[in-house]
Amino acid sequence: MSSSGPSAGDILSEAGKTYAPYTVVEVTPAVVRVLSGRVDQQLAVTFGNTRKKSSSLIGVGDDVVVSIWEASNNGLFASGTTTARTMGGTQVPQQPVSESGTITVPYAGTIKAANKTPDQVKLEIESALKGVAVEPQVLVSVVKNVSNTVTVTGEVATSGLIPLSARGEKLLDVIAMAGGPRMEAHQLAVQITRGLHTETIPMERLISDPVENIYVQSGDVITLLRQPRSFTVFGATTANASVQFDEAQLYLNQALAKVGGLNDDRANAKGIFIYRTEPVSLVRQLMPGKPISGAGDTANVIYRIDLSDPSGFFLLKSFSVRNRDLIYIANSSMAEVRKFATIIGATTAPVVQAAAASNALQN
């Protein structure tokens, strides 16, 4: 007979095999506590959360302005006509750091600037001008920072390059500097790419967990992605559907209510299953000593809740539904019996009707 999916017995039987493709976890208050207390440190683990001190270094392509003052108003840099002449000093016109990492300063020559701080470049220029200028004092300013930047794009008010300051900026800092998100946080995910590594985290999680609000580094690409959350329901429910949800935390009782609850004529109260992919480390914590088959660091898990036990409804109120969860309600055995009886009835009814008609004609 046709069916909307496997029976509860089929799911449990397959899980008992030596090389089962999934692990069945019976949901208990202890399991709910473990799941509720689990916090994956995605960004902090992948990228770390250390402020990179080199964010104040001058890089190739940065625009630099050098200002020079002397102790005498009749000094080398106090003479002549310049547009920036003030108090016996001169401002060298703004210039970009060349591909070779250098800038040019009159009478000081070519100065290596890339991968140095403004203070280091200042000392090098002052040293080069000794004997030429009268007690020179130099100020080096980076007016356009393109090497120490991060790229922010996606669902933000203004995409572009965000310069980093010496104090160091965190993820939420640069998102705010880009004008902030263009939609509500529950609809967004934040993706950060650093080198060959990419990690994504829900925007709500980033806001609520300070540990995940990591320091950004030069060259990071931060993308805000529209990623509405949803779950799918199949089986013996009033309606099979894919449902989007906005709640920061959605519980299983609320999820089932969104699709009209279980079908009284078909549902197996002992067959409430939630399909999910979990880290192997979590599965080992939930099922210590049980062999686990998984692909790399993750494993397929089916959580089972028994609603024939009245206390099972408390578990519904505590079990959180996550993005892309699949909820399956198995058919009861009596539903299969009724289905079989319906098929038999539909097959034999024409024969009975024909016999009755024949008897009527004979009479």
146-165 pLDDT tens trace = 888 899 999 999 999 998 88
Report how far residue 151's alpha carbon sits from residue 60's, in angstroms, rounded to the nearest whole number: 17
Q: At 176, phi and psi to the nearest 5?
A: -65, -40
Other beta carbons within 10 angstroms of residue 311's beta carbon come to: 10
Spatial strand order in the sheet of 63-69: 89-96, 63-69, 137-144
DSSP 73: T
**Which residues, other chains included, contact 3 with Cβ-Cβ below 8 Å and sequence gap of 6+?**
331, 336
Q: Read off the pLDDT of each residue in 167-171 and give the average, rounded to a whole number.
A: 89
Torsion region of 261: left, alpha or beta (phi above 0 gives left; psi -120 to 50 gives alpha): left
- Whether the pLDDT of residue 281 is over 80: the answer is yes
What SS3 state is found at 11? helix
Nearest to 223 by CA among 186, 184, 196, 194: 194
The amino acid at 225: L
Report how far residue 31's alpha carbon sits from residue 343's, in angstroms, rounded to the nearest whole number: 42
Average pLDDT, the chain: 84
* Per-residue burial over 96-108, b = 16 or more CB atoms within 10 Å of its CB, e = otherwise: ebeeeebbebeeb
The amino acid at 135: E
Alpha helices in 266-332 (DSSP H): 280-286, 312-318
Write the pLDDT tens digit of every residue in 92-116: 899 999 999 999 999 999 999 998 9
Q: Read off the pLDDT of each residue in 54-70 and give the average, rounded to a whole number.
A: 85
Give kind and range of the element (H or E) at residue 167.
none
Nearest to 319 by CA among 262, 266, 272, 267: 272
What SS3 state is found at 200? strand
Bridge partners for 326 per DSSP: 232, 275
- Radius of gyration for the alpha carbons in the chain, expressed in angstroms and rounded: 35
Report how far residue 294's alpha carbon sits from residue 107's, in angstroms, rounded to the nearest whole number: 68
Q: Read off the pLDDT of each residue in 195-215 and give the average, rounded to a whole number.
A: 89
pLDDT category, 220, cuts 50, 70, 90?
very high
Report how far residue 275's alpha carbon sits from residue 363's, in angstroms, rounded to the nearest whole number: 63
Q: At 228, phi and psi to the nearest 5?
A: -65, 145
Burial of 279 per CB tally in 10 Å (0-12, 13-18, 19+): middle
Tell me the whole-structure pTM to 2 decimals: 0.64
pLDDT category, 259, cuts 50, 70, 90?
very high
239-248, 313-322, 343-352 — which one is most confidently predicted on average?
313-322
Which pLDDT does position 165 carry in this prediction?
82
Which pLDDT does position 82 carry in this prediction?
43
- Measured in whole angstroms, how far is the alpha carbon of residue 77 from the centre of its chain? 55
Q: Read off the pLDDT of each residue in 282-307 and give the average, rounded to a whole number.
A: 86
Q: Read off the pLDDT of each residue in 232-238 and give the average, rounded to a whole number.
A: 91
- Whether the pLDDT of residue 301 is over 50: the answer is yes
Contact 329, 43 (CB under 8 A): no
Q: At 352, phi and psi to the nearest 5?
A: -65, -40
The amino acid at 121: V
Nearest to 26 by CA among 6, 8, 40: 8
- Whether the pLDDT of residue 2 is over 80: the answer is no
- Whether the pLDDT of residue 29 is over 60: the answer is yes
Burial of 352 per CB tally in 10 Å (0-12, 13-18, 19+): exposed
- Whether the pLDDT of residue 274 is over 60: the answer is yes
- Whether the pLDDT of residue 223 is over 70: the answer is yes
Torsion region of 107: left, alpha or beta (phi above 0 gives left; psi -120 to 50 gives alpha): left
